[in-house]
Structure 1
Amino acid sequence: MFDVGFLELVVIGLVALIVIGPERLPRVARTAGMWVGRARRAFTSVKEEIDRELRAEELKEIMRKQADSQSLERILEPPAKTHRSEADSVGPGAGGKSPEPPSTEARATESGDPP
């Protein structure tokens, strides 16, 4: 974040020692450290909360895509069980077609050839 080297810290310490004085410097350093720690914890807390929200949004998007793909699979895939139509279940006598092919005798009489 901030690029503060050792030399800069020494200069800041010397200025603080001269301005604040040797008696109050330890108390000011503790207070400053406390505030820096609170700021870091607050920043970390906000960052973690944002990360959690992003992960939650990603999971919602994945679940939404999965639900959409499953509904498309249901539309595109044929049903597992094949249901017979009404005409097939009624039988050939009621106008429906027989699921079995005609026998050789029936084919011969239809074409006019003797069996």
Structure 2
Amino acid sequence: MLDLGLDKLALIGAVALIVIGPEKLPKVARTVGHMMGKARRYVADVKAEVNRSIEMEELAKARKQFEDAAHEVGSTVQGSFNEAAQTLSEPFDADAWNPAPAPASPTPPKKNWRLKRSRTPQWFKQTAGVRQHVQSGAARVKRHRR
């Protein structure tokens, strides 16, 4: 690109000072600075727009792949469903399917209220205000007195 060193910039500044003059040089330098800023912003906007369009293309490709995968899964599920419906529509043979009866338990299990109470999560007990520790009346009075 351009190789502008300190010596070349000093030469350009000296020629500009001679050609433009010392009165108009600050105004011209300010105008050139504004134009350079506008050019940089324009280039940055173009880069951002190109990046946005590339991202949109990538998103469109990903969306298409996702739709294809969803369609494939849907067709697989539909095929399985049709196969199951065809299997169920066949006549039922009661003699071929005769499950054994479940063994009866000798005695029903006893309910243990301590076990049931301990299954309650600790966070629920705290939010519901369930007492965690038993205190006597004297201990409660002592706790709340100053």
Q: If the length of structure 2 is used for normalisation, what is the TM-score?
A: 0.55
Note the residue ranges of structure 1 that are not aligned, 5 or more in a row: 92-97, 104-115
Mapped partners of 1:36, 1:66: distance in 2: 45
Name the structure, 1 or 2, with higher relative contact order (CA <8 Å, separation 6+).
Answer: 1
Aligned pairs for 1:5-24 (under 5 A) are: 5-24=5-24
Mapped partners of 1:12, 1:99: distance in 2: 103
Change (3 A) 1:30 1:76: same
**Cα offset for 1:80?**
6.4
Mapped partners of 1:40, 1:54: distance in 2: 21
**Cα offset for 1:39?**
0.7
Mapped partners of 2:95, 2:21: distance in 1: 108
Q: Secondary structure at the match of 2:33?
A: helix
Change (3 A) 1:100 1:8: farther
Q: Which runs of 4+ in 1 moved over 6 A?
A: none
**Paired amino acid for 2:80:** P
Q: If the length of structure 1 is used for normalisation, what is the TM-score?
A: 0.68
Structure 1, residues 58-108: CA drift from partner, whole Å, max 9, x if none?
1111011111012112223553693344333xx4xxxxxx275389xxxxx
Asked if residue 43 in structure 1 is aligned to residue 43 in structure 2, the reply is yes
Name the count of aligned residue pairs: 95
Mapped partners of 2:2, 2:73: distance in 1: 53
Root-mean-square deviation (CA, aligned residues, Å) is 2.6
Percent identity reads 36
